[in-house]
């Protein structure tokens, strides 16, 4: 498909199906253009002034101090030295206190958590599902009525998904053959496929792993998924394992947060996080429309992430973890019920999505960024935000709230590819550009909604495009049932090149593609 570009033209198709006509849009009026340029530079000047305000204030003090030092003579220096000799006990006490304080700081400060590398699972080509194949298999199944089939067709066309997403092998069978054995096979393919590539790219011995966190919302067998990994790779007996279930698409950030907390306790350790979802036994075969949407969006995928608190890994690590902010809105009944696994009137199990979902997600995002903002935004943006907030409280309640410019805090955005509406809403609310949301849109198009692992496919896209340079900050945003909004902030420790197993390696030159609206 054609590559998306920014331009000031529109395409019009004639009613009789004639050739497309390019209509040039007139450029913006010159006065408005000049005004916008002036406003841009005024804002840049404001941010520069506030950011460097402390330095600018200290410069006169430094100059005065330098003048006084230059006027000191040898007698003054000798007097100062003799006074220090007479008060040697006080000097030694202060030095000792400073040394103890510095030692205590080193002992108690949070350990830096490094992301050494990660791997995204790439299913085999025979698992690809084109739209016509999806609809054909749905008709053959026979459980869907005409209304349900037409609803799924419309959702697919508007979903933002492309023709190369993947479904598990059991759903390619005619008729579909979901079973516990097939679900286990899907889980093994995803987990072990991602882990094999991770161990290969990092040269880490599986027996060196001290912490393992696996998250999968809807498939929780016994023995657990984490136990399946321990058994496969014969991990050591004292490994700390965790299996997170039922926490939706935001569980990947929760898993990273748990691993981070464990790495604060256990020195010189590796932690592996495996994020995935399992579709085989969670396909809905009924006709309730709110439960049919996940069928059209969710696809096979998963990611494995290697974290470390070893200082020796600083050089080879791709990123370091700066912040994790988690927001839970589950105390609100509407938020709690907006993503709900249940049985329909015919007794068929599926996940129902409420019409209130986007409003709930917007509220959760607002609460999350209220906590995240002070941690990442420059002081200039915080001052504008609080000044507007006070003005709204005191003067004019109808004044629009000031939306902080998160583009000043982050270079890249990995928005959970939950669906086209989710990406559109965050692009609008955070005032992001098309390039900022490009990784999310292309991940949804190429791989579909892979649940908690989607933010890693998006990061892999950014790396494959060669856009990640040293010092760049990445914001991963994920939403999940409950209802939750979770954020993780990473900083690139070097110019990051894509791994050999990057899932975009053989197709990145085709992207971005134009997605019809």
Angle (deg, nearest 10), helices 30-51 and 379-394: 110
Q: Reply yes or no on whether the pLDDT at 379 is more than 90.
A: no
Compute the average pLDDT of residues 205-225.
Answer: 97
* Confidence at residue 13, expressed as pLDDT on a 0 to 100 scale: 40
Given 215, 282, 287, 449, the catalytic residue = 449
Question: What SS3 class is residue 498?
Answer: coil
> Is the pLDDT higher at 38 or at 287?
287
* Confidence at residue 23, expressed as pLDDT on a 0 to 100 scale: 38
Compute the average pLDDT of residues 10-26.
Answer: 40
Given 329, 412, 414, 486, the catalytic residue = 412
Q: Which of 340, 342, 335, 341 is nearest to 356 (CA)?
A: 335
> Is the pLDDT higher at 486 or at 379?
486
* Cβ contact 453:273 at 8 Å: no
* Confidence at residue 6, expressed as pLDDT on a 0 to 100 scale: 42
* Confidence at residue 456, expressed as pLDDT on a 0 to 100 scale: 98
Please report, for residues 267, 320, 380, 459, the alpha-carbon distance to residue 466 in angstroms, rounded to integers and kept in the order given. 33, 19, 30, 11
Please report, for residues 50, 71, 394, 462, the alpha-carbon distance to residue 62 in angstroms, rounded to integers and kept in the order given. 19, 14, 40, 43
Given 215, 295, 296, 328, the catalytic residue = 328
* Confidence at residue 38, expressed as pLDDT on a 0 to 100 scale: 45
Q: Residue 289: is it exposed, middle or buried by C-beta count within 10 angstroms (0-12/13-18/19+)?
A: middle
* Confidence at residue 101, expressed as pLDDT on a 0 to 100 scale: 76
Given 416, 436, 485, 486, the catalytic residue = 416
Quick one: what percent of the chain has pLDDT higher than 90?
69
* Confidence at residue 48, expressed as pLDDT on a 0 to 100 scale: 53
Catalytic, 416? Answer yes
Compute the average pLDDT of residues 88-116.
Answer: 78
Q: Reply yes or no on whether the pLDDT at 281 is more than 80.
A: yes
Bridge partners of 80, per DSSP, are none
Structural element, H or E, at residue 391 = helix 379-394
- Is 133 within the bounds of a domain? yes
Q: Reply yes or no on whether the pLDDT at 193 is more than 50.
A: yes
- Is 41 within the bounds of a domain? no
> Is the pLDDT higher at 68 or at 189?
189
For residue 22, what pLDDT band results from cuts at 50, 70 and 90?
very low
- Is 400 within the bounds of a domain? yes
* Confidence at residue 37, expressed as pLDDT on a 0 to 100 scale: 44
Q: Reply yes or no on whether the pLDDT at 253 is more than 80.
A: yes
For residue 43, what pLDDT band results from cuts at 50, 70 and 90?
low
* Confidence at residue 141, expressed as pLDDT on a 0 to 100 scale: 79
Q: Reply yes or no on whether the pLDDT at 295 is more than 90.
A: yes
Q: What is the CATH number of the domain that holds 376?
A: 3.40.47.10
Q: Which domain holds residue 315?
A: 114-510
Residues in the chain: 517
User: Cα Rg for the chain, rounded, in angstroms?
Assistant: 28
Catalytic, 249? Answer yes
- Is 88 within the bounds of a domain? no
Q: Which residues of 298-324 are buried (b: 16+ CB within 10 A; e: fewer)?
A: bbbbbbbbbbbbbeebeeebbbbbbeb
Separation between Cα atoms, residue 109 and residue 117, nearest integer Å: 24
* Residue labelled with tokens 């040898």: 74
- Is 126 within the bounds of a domain? yes
For residue 9, what pLDDT band results from cuts at 50, 70 and 90?
very low
Bridge partners of 479, per DSSP, are 485
State the CB neighbour count (10 A cutoff) for residue 278: 24
Q: Reply yes or no on whether the pLDDT at 469 is more than 70.
A: yes
Least confident of 13-17, 167-171, 240-244: 13-17
For residue 11, what pLDDT band results from cuts at 50, 70 and 90?
very low
Q: Which two tokens stand for residue 269?
A: 């350790």
Angle (deg, nearest 10), helices 225-233 and 180-202: 50
Quick one: what percent of the chain has pLDDT higher than 70?
82
pLDDT averaged over the chain?
Answer: 86
Q: What is the pTM of this model?
A: 0.82
Separation between Cα atoms, residue 484 and residue 325, nearest integer Å: 11
Q: Reply yes or no on whether the pLDDT at 78 is more than 80.
A: no
Separation between Cα atoms, residue 264 and residue 258, nearest integer Å: 10
DSSP secondary structure letter of residue 343: E
- Is 100 within the bounds of a domain? no
Q: Reply yes or no on whether the pLDDT at 145 is more than 70.
A: yes
Per the structure, the count of domains in the chain is 1
Q: Which two tokens stand for residue 438?
A: 């490009």
Q: Which residues of 146-166 are buried (b: 16+ CB within 10 A; e: fewer)?
A: eebbebbeebbeebbbbeebb
Separation between Cα atoms, residue 386 and residue 392, nearest integer Å: 10
Question: What SS3 class is residue 333?
Answer: helix
Q: Reply yes or no on whether the pLDDT at 446 is more than 90.
A: yes
How, if at all, do strands 21-24 and 209-215 pair?
unpaired
Q: Reply yes or no on whether the pLDDT at 347 is more than 90.
A: yes
- Is 225 within the bounds of a domain? yes
* Residue labelled with tokens 């494995």: 304
Q: Reply yes or no on whether the pLDDT at 26 is more than 70.
A: no
Least confident of 26-35, 136-145, 192-201, 498-507: 26-35
* Cβ contact 484:249 at 8 Å: no
* Confidence at residue 96, expressed as pLDDT on a 0 to 100 scale: 81
Tell me, letter by letter, the H, E, C secondary structure of 440-468: HHHHHHHHCECHHHHHHHHHHHHHHCCCC
Q: Which two tokens stand for residue 300?
A: 């096979």
Question: What SS3 class is residue 267?
Answer: coil
Structural element, H or E, at residue 65 = helix 53-70
Q: Which two tokens stand for residue 391?
A: 């003005």
Q: Reply yes or no on whether the pLDDT at 98 is more than 90.
A: no
- Is 39 within the bounds of a domain? no
Q: Which residues contact 136 (CB under 8 A, 6 or more apart)?
A: none
Given 120, 249, 329, 414, the catalytic residue = 249
């Amino acid at each position: 498909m054609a590559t998306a570009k920014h331009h000031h033209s529109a395409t019009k198709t004639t009613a009789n199906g004639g050739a497309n006509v390019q209509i040039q849009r007139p450029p913006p009026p010159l006065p408005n253009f000049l005004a916008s340029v002036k406003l841009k530079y005024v804002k840049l000047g404001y941010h520069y002034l506030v950011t460097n305000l402390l330095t600018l204030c200290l410069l006169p003090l430094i100059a005065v101090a330098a003048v006084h030092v230059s006027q000191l003579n040898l007698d003054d220096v000798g007097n100062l030295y003799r006074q220090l000799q007479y008060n040697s006990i006080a000097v030694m006490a202060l030095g000792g206190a400073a040394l103890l304080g510095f030692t205590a700081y080193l002992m108690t400060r949070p350990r830096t958590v490094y992301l050494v590398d990660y791997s995204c699972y790439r299913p085999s080509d025979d698992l690809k599902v084109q739209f016509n194949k999806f609809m054909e298999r749905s008709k053959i199944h026979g459980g869907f009525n005409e209304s349900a089939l037409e609803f799924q067709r419309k959702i697919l066309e508007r979903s933002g998904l492309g023709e190369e997403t993947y479904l598990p092998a059991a759903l390619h069978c005619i008729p579909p053959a979901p079973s516990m054995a097939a679900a286990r096979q899907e889980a093994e393919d995803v987990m072990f496929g991602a882990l094999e590539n991770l161990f290969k790219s990092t040269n880490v011995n599986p027996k060196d792993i001290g912490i393992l966190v696996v998250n999968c919302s809807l498939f929780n067998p016994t023995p657990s998924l984490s136990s399946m990994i321990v058994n496969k790779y014969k991990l050591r007996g004292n490994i700390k394992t965790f299996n997170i279930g039922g926490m939706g698409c935001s569980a990947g950030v929760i898993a990273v947060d748990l691993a981070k907390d464990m790495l604060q306790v256990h020195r010189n350790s590796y932690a592996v996080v495996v994020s995935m979802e399992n579709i085989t036994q969670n396909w809905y075969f009924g006709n309730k429309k709110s439960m049919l949407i996940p069928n059209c969006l969710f696809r096979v995928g998963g990611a494995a992430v290697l974290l470390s608190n070893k200082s020796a890994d600083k050089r080879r690590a791709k990123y370091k973890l700066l912040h994790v902010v988690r927001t839970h809105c589950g105390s609100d009944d509407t938020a709690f019920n907006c993503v709900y696994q249940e049985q329909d009137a015919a007794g068929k199990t599926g996940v129902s999505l409420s019409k209130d979902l986007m409003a709930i997600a917007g509220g959760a995002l607002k609460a999350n960024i209220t906590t995240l903002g002070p941690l990442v935004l420059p002081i200039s943006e915080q001052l504008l935000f609080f000044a507007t907030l006070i003005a709204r409280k005191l003067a004019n309640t109808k004044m629009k709230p000031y939306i902080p410019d998160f583009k000043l805090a982050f270079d890249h955005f990995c928005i959970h590819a939950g669906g086209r509406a989710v990406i559109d809403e965050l692009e609008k609310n955070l005032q992001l550009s098309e390039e900022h949301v490009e990784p999310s849109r292309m991940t949804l198009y190429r791989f579909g909604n892979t649940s908690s692992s989607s933010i890693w496919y998006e990061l892999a896209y950014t790396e494959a495009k060669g856009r990640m340079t040293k010092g760049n900050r990445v914001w991963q945003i994920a939403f999940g049932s409950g209802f939750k909004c979770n954020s993780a902030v990473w900083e690139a420790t070097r110019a990051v090149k894509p791994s050999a197993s990057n899932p975009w390696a053989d197709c990145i030159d085709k992207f971005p593609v134009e997605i019809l609206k």
